[in-house]
A = this chain, B = another copy of it.
Amino acid sequence: MGKAEDTKARLERAALTLFVARGVAETTTKEIAMAASVAEGTIYRYFPSKEQLALDLFLRHHQGLAGALAEAQRPAMGLRAKIEAIVRCYCEWADRDWTLFAYHLLNQHSFLIEVPDDMANPVTVVRDVISQAMKADEIPRRNVDLVAASAIGVVMQSATYKVYGRFTGDLSDHVRFFADAAWAVLSVKEK
């Protein structure tokens, strides 16, 4: 790794850690620089603004995750298998870089509006899989967005509670349960 790339990476990691610990608005450029062991001005050799740095970090993970989920579900046959593939991939991403994952989770509100409509999107991947399964009558036909939200919530709320420290350990340890639970949500019979 070149020296410049190393500096940039150190800045990103420092920013990420502080953003998760104290929030984006509450983190100063001076703090980021200190944590990365560079001068404040150096930040601006690599990023046009603090806001852009924050957005870069978010979008990179957002797109990466969306691509990975799309790849993961593709080879799986049938909704049940696709769900498990998606859940496994999601949990692995979370466990691999928990700080980045937590940052993405905690800052959706701020950045999601800045995501272009045509950009790969984790939610869309899930939504499409569910939509297909409804068309194929694998599960009852319902409001896709509502059902997708509920299924996604099974995993995402658990991840959120891990951020809060309400429980510990790898998310990947519970892939089977998450997949079963999400499947159960999607399969709820109409009355």
Residues on A lying within 8 angstroms of B by beta carbon are: 23, 25-26, 106, 109-110, 112, 123, 142-143, 145-146, 149-150, 152-158, 160-161, 163-164, 166-167, 174, 176-178, 180-181, 184-185, 187-189, 191
When the two chains form the complex, which single residue of B149, B154, B189 contacts A161, counting CB atoms closer than 8 Å? B149
Provide the residues of chain B in CB contact with A160, threshold 8 Å. 149, 153
A-B pairs with beta carbons under 8 Å apart, 26 shown:
A23-B109, A25-B25, A25-B26, A112-B164, A123-B166, A145-B161, A145-B166, A146-B167, A149-B157, A149-B166, A149-B167, A150-B158, A150-B177, A150-B181, A153-B153, A153-B160, A154-B185, A156-B157, A157-B157, A176-B191, A180-B189, A181-B184, A181-B185, A184-B184, A184-B185, A184-B187
Counting every copy of the chain, the complex holds 2
Would you call A180 and B188 a contact (CB within 8 A)?
A: yes
Provide the residues of chain B in CB contact with A152, threshold 8 Å. 153, 157
When the two chains form the complex, which single residue of B110, B178, B187 contacts A150, counting CB atoms closer than 8 Å? B178
Nearest CB in chain B to that of A185: its residue = B181
Would you call B181 and A158 a contact (CB within 8 A)?
A: no
Q: Which of A123, A142, A181 has the most CB of B within 10 A?
A: A181
- Contact A181:B176 (CB < 8 A) given known A145-B161, A167-B146: no
Give Cα A26–Cα B110 distance, bound, in whole angstroms.
11
Provide the residues of chain B in CB contact with A26, threshold 8 Å. 25
